[in-house]
C-alpha cells in the first residue's frame, strides 16, 4: 500500500479525534455542554443526631438523582419559626433564580396548617409549612404566588405520617421541582400567607424604634431589625457612645455607655458594644462574651435608640 499523503493523514487524525469525542460524551456541539445541576437548599430543626436528615435527602435523590443538596442548617432552635425566617432572609440573596429551598421548621406538623410552595419574584421556590417562615423574604423580595400542596402524586407513601411531613411531603415536592416539574401542578393557589409579627423598624425625629428579634447562634449577640442605613440617620459614628432602651416603655433596661464600633476587638474583653453586623443590621454584642446572658435578655424585645445629642 502506498504512503498516505500528509494532508490526508491530518484529516484522518482529526476525524478520529472527533469520533472519539462523540463516543465518550454521547453527543457533540453545544448540546454536549454540562447541564446546570438543580440546587436544593435544605434547612430544618431536626438536628443531626439521628436519621431524619439523611432520610429526607434520600427521598429527594430518589426522585431527582441529579440534584445538588446544600445544607443551610439543621440546628435551627427547635420550633423557632423566627430563626428559620431569619436564616432564609440572610441566605437567599446568595443563590440564583431556580434554587429550591426546602424548609422544615414545623411545630404544628399534622395539624390544619397548610404545606405550601411559594415562588418569589426573584424566581426562587420555597417548599415549607405555611407558618410565617416566608415573612421576611416576602417583605424584601415579593412573591409571584403560593400554592397549597394537595397533589398526592407529588408525595410519597400511601399513608402519610402525621409527624414526618419533612419526609413524606416537603422533600418529595422539592425534588419534583428540582427535576423540572411544573410547580402549578402541586395544588390550588393560596391567597395569603401566614405571617409572623415582625414590624418594620421606623425612624422619626426622636430616634429609631425597632425590635430585637433573634440571638446570633452560640455567641449570644442580639440581632435587631434596625438597618445600618436607618441607624446612620441618627448621626452616630464609630467611637460614639449610644444610649438606648430595651424592653417595653416604662419597664425597659437602660444601657448607658455602650460604644458604637466597627468590630468586637475595638472594645476590651468582656465589654459590650453596638455594631453593624455582616447582614447590615444593628447588633449588640460582648467582646468574647455573651450579650444575651450578660444582661439576661432574650428576644423578642422592643428597642429604642435616640438620635445623637447635638
Peptide bond into 300 cis (omega under 30): yes
Percent of the chain with pLDDT over 70: 85
Residue range 104-162, pLDDT digits in tens: 999 999 899 999 999 999 999 999 999 999 999 999 999 999 999 999 999 997 778 88
DSSP line for 103-153? EE--TTTTSSPPEEEEEETTS-EEEEESSSTTHHHHHHH-EEEEEE---GG
3-state SS class at 26:
coil
Domains in the chain, CATH or no CATH each: 39-186 (3.40.50.10790), 202-306 (2.40.30.90)
Residue range 157-171, pLDDT digits in tens: 777 888 999 999 999
Amino acid at each position: 500500500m502506498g504512503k498516505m499523503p500528509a494532508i490526508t493523514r491530518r484529516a484522518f487524525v482529526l476525524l478520529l479525534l472527533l469520533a472519539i469525542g462523540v463516543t465518550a460524551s454521547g453527543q457533540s456541539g453545544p448540546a454536549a455542554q454540562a447541564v446546570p445541576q438543580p440546587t436544593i437548599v435544605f434547612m430544618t430543626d431536626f438536628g443531626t443526631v439521628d436519621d431524619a436528615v439523611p432520610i429526607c435527602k434520600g427521598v429527594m435523590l430518589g426522585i431527582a438523582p441529579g440534584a445538588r443538596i446544600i445544607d443551610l442548617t439543621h440546628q435551627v432552635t427547635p420550633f423557632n419559626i423566627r430563626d428559620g425566617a431569619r436564616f432564609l432572609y440572610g441566605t437567599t440573596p446568595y443563590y440564583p433564580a431556580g434554587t429550591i429551598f426546602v424548609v422544615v421548621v414545623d411545630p404544628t406538623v399534622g395539624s390544619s396548617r397548610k404545606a405550601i410552595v411559594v415562588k418569589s419574584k426573584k424566581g426562587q421556590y420555597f417548599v415549607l409549612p405555611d407558618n410565617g417562615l416566608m415573612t421576611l423574604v416576602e417583605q424584601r423580595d415579593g412573591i409571584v404566588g403560593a400554592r397549597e400542596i394537595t397533589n398526592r402524586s407529588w408525595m410519597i407513601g400511601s399513608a402519610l405520617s402525621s409527624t414526618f411531613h419533612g419526609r413524606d411531603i416537603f422533600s418529595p415536592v422539592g425534588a419534583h421541582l428540582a427535576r423540572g416539574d411544573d410547580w402549578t401542578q402541586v395544588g390550588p393557589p393560596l391567597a395569603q400567607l401566614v405571617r409572623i409579627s415582625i414590624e418594620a423598624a421606623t425612624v422619626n425625629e426622636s430616634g429609631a424604634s425597632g425590635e430585637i428579634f433573634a440571638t446570633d447562634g452560640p455567641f449570644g449577640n442580639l440581632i435587631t431589625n434596625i438597618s445600618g442605613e436607618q441607624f446612620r440617620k441618627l448621626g452616630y459614628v464609630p467611637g460614639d457612645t449610644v444610649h438606648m432602651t430595651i424592653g417595653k416603655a416604662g419597664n425597659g433596661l437602660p444601657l448607658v455607655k455602650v460604644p458604637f464600633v466597627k468590630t468586637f476587638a475595638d472594645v476590651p474583653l468582656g465589654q459590650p458594644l453596638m455594631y453593624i453586623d455582616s447582614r447590615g443590621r444593628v447588633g449588640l454584642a460582648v467582646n468574647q462574651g455573651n450579650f444575651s446572658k450578660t444582661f439576661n435578655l432574650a428576644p423578642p424585645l422592643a428597642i429604642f435608640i435616640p438620635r445623637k445629642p447635638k
